[in-house]
A and B are shown apart, each in its own frame.
Chain A
C-alpha cells in the first residue's frame, strides 16, 4: 500500500476550497444588492424624475364633507373636511417626512392653483399620492393665517388634526419625492440607439471585408491585430479619446460640452471589436458551398453577400447586438467623461445626461450616498444584463442546429 501523499491532500483541499469562492462571492453580492435595494424598488421609479419638484399652490374653498369608504390603515390619517389623507414616511436619507396617501376625487387638493411667480403661475398642480407635504397654511376661526405640517415639526396625525380645526385652507407647499430613473432610462435608450446605429454598420462591414474579401490579404493580420488591441484599452481611456477626438464632430451639430451624442459616438468605438469578432465568427460558419452556389448562378460578390451571407449570419449579428447592449448598460468610466455626471430628467441629444450606470455613480459620489436607490438601480441593471446573457445563450444553442 502506498503511503498517503500529504502534498496531494493539501492540493486537493485547496482546490475544493478555492472553487467555492466564486459561488460564495456571487451569492454575497446578490444578497447585498437585493437587501439594500429591494425596498426602494417600485414601479414609480421608472416614471418619476430624479430631482424633486417643489410646488406652492393655493387651495380653493370647499364647503362639504368628503366622506370616504376607503379602508385606511391605522397609520393613515384622513380629514373628511378636506378629503385628504396623510401618513408618516421616511425619505431616501431616512429623514421623517409626511406624505399624501389618498386624495378624495372631489377634494380641493385636486384643484391646487400654482401660486409661484413664473410661467406656471395660475396653472393647475396635479397633486398625487406619494407627494411630500411640507406645509399647509390654514385660516383659523379668528381669521389668522397659521401653518401646519412638518415645518412645525408635526407628524401626519397632528397635521390632520390641526387642519381639521381650521375654517378653511389657504395654501400648501408640496413636493415630489424624486429619486426616479426616468431620465436616465431615456438617456440609456438614446445611447443604445446611437452607438448601435454607428457601430453595427461599421463593425459588420469590417467583418465582411475581413472574411469575404481579404481573408488572406497581406495587410489583414495587421488590421486584425489593431482591432484586437482595442480590447486591451481600459474604458476610461476611451473616454479621454472621445473628449479629444469625437467632440469636434458633436460640436458641428451644436453640442458644446458633454452630450449623449458624444457618449454614443465613444461607445460605438468601444463596441467595435466585439461586434467585428462575433460577426466574423458567424460569417465563418456559413458554408462555402453557399458562396459557390451563388457565384455559379451568376451573382457577383456583393449580391452574394447581401442576399445569402448576411441573412445566414443574422443570428450571430443578433448575438453581437445583445452583447453590445449589455456592455452599453454597464459602461461607466467612458461616459463620465463624455456624457457628464449631471442627472437630467429631460435628456437631450446634445446635452449631458446620465445613463443608469452613471446615475449610480452620481448618487454614490454625492454628499449623502443613497444606498437604497443605488442598489435598486443596480438590481434593475443586473436583471437586464442577466436577461441578455440568458438570451444570448438560448440564441446560440438553438441556431447551432441549423446546418
Chain B
C-alpha cells in the first residue's frame, strides 16, 4: 500500500524556538494514523504542516520535505489553496459558518466556482450521509447551522470537509470539546470514513488512539519517539519514554 505522506527530515521553528525536530515518517493510505503525546509536543504543529496551515502564522520557518502525491509540498511554489482542497481539516472546536447547513456544506465548492445546482445538491446529500448527519438534518437544510448541537456541528464540519472530496482528512482533537455520546458517534464515523479517506488524528486521549487508530506516533518535545502499529505501540512499546507515557507516569 503506497504512502499518503512521506516526511523527510522536517524541522520547524517559531522564530528561534524549534518546535519540530528531524521528523521522519511515512503515513499509509486508507488508514487511521494517530498522533499522541503530552501538550505542546508538536503533534498539532506537524498536523498543520500537512495542509500548510502553518503558513498563517507569521514567524514560522520550515526545513525538510513533505512528499504528497510525488510532490514536495513543503516548497514555496506549491499552490497551497489547491493543496487544501485535497487535504481537508476538522478542528477541535466545531466552527460552522453563520450560514445555513446547506451553505456550510457546499462552501468549499462555491469557492471553486462550482455553480450547478444539481451538482451542489448532490454533493451536499452525499457528504451529509457520509458524515452520518443526513437523516437528522435533511428536512432543515436551510436552517442556521448554529441551531445544531455540538456533536452535530462537528459532524457538519466533517461533512463540509468531505464535500471537497479530499484524499486526506486531518483531525485536530476533534472530540475534545464534545460529550461522550457525541464522541462515540464520531469515533464510529471515523471507522467508516477510513474506507475512502486517509485519516490523521491528533488526540489527547491515548485511549481514543488505542480504540480507533491503525498506526500511532508518539511525540515528545517536538520529536517522534516511536511510531508503529497501534497494537504493538501500546502493548510492547520499544522506547521507555513511550512506556512511561502509556502507563501514565507523565503527560
Contacts and interface: CB of A to CB of B under 8 A. Distances in A.
Q: Report A-B touching, CB under 8 Å.
A: yes
A1 B81 CA distance: 10
B122 to A, nearest CB: 23
Contacts of B79: 1-2
B118 interface: no
A300 interface: no
B82 A1 contact: yes
Contacts of A1: 79, 82
A5 interface: yes
A96 B81 CA distance: 71
A1 B112 CA distance: 12
Contacts of B82: 1-2
Nearest to A3: B113
B79 to A, nearest CB: 6
Nearest to A6: B113
A47 to B, nearest CB: 55
A2 B81 CA distance: 9
Nearest to A1: B79
Interface residues of B, number: 5
Nearest to B82: A2
Contacts of A2: 79, 81-82, 112
A2 B113 CA distance: 11
B195 to A, nearest CB: 29
A1 B82 CA distance: 7
A2 B79 CA distance: 8
Nearest to B85: A2
A30 B82 CA distance: 47
Interface in A1-26: 1-2, 5
Nearest to A5: B113
B78 to A, nearest CB: 10
Interface residues of A, number: 3
Interface string A138-166: 00000000000000000000000000000
Interface string B182-200: 0000000000000000000
Interface in B39-94: 79, 81-82
Interface string B106-121: 0000001100000000
A2 B82 CA distance: 7
A190 B112 CA distance: 65
A354 to B, nearest CB: 52
Interface string A114-130: 00000000000000000
B74 to A, nearest CB: 18
B107 to A, nearest CB: 15
A2 B85 CA distance: 11
A319 B112 CA distance: 50
A385 B207 CA distance: 64
B181 to A, nearest CB: 37
Contacts of B113: 5
Which residue among B79, B81, B113 has the maximum number of chain A CB atoms within 10 Å of its CB? B113
A5 B114 CA distance: 12
A1 B113 CA distance: 14
Contacts of B112: 2
B242 to A, nearest CB: 42
A265 B82 CA distance: 65
A1 B71 CA distance: 14
B124 to A, nearest CB: 22
A2 B112 CA distance: 9
Contacts of B81: 2
Contacts of A5: 113
A8 to B, nearest CB: 10
A95 B186 CA distance: 87
Nearest to B81: A2
A356 to B, nearest CB: 47
A2 B78 CA distance: 11
A5 B111 CA distance: 10
Nearest to B111: A5
Nearest to A2: B82
A5 B82 CA distance: 13
A5 B112 CA distance: 9
B54 to A, nearest CB: 21
Interface in A83-137: none
Nearest to B112: A2
Interface string A288-330: 0000000000000000000000000000000000000000000
A12 to B, nearest CB: 14
A24 to B, nearest CB: 29
A20 B171 CA distance: 41
A4 to B, nearest CB: 11
A239 to B, nearest CB: 43
A98 to B, nearest CB: 68
B5 to A, nearest CB: 22
A231 B113 CA distance: 45
A1 B79 CA distance: 7
Interface of B: 79, 81-82, 112-113
7 contacts: A1-B79, A1-B82, A2-B79, A2-B81, A2-B82, A2-B112, A5-B113
- Which 7 pairs across A and B sit closest by C-beta, in order of nearness? A2-B82, A1-B79, A2-B79, A2-B81, A5-B113, A1-B82, A2-B112
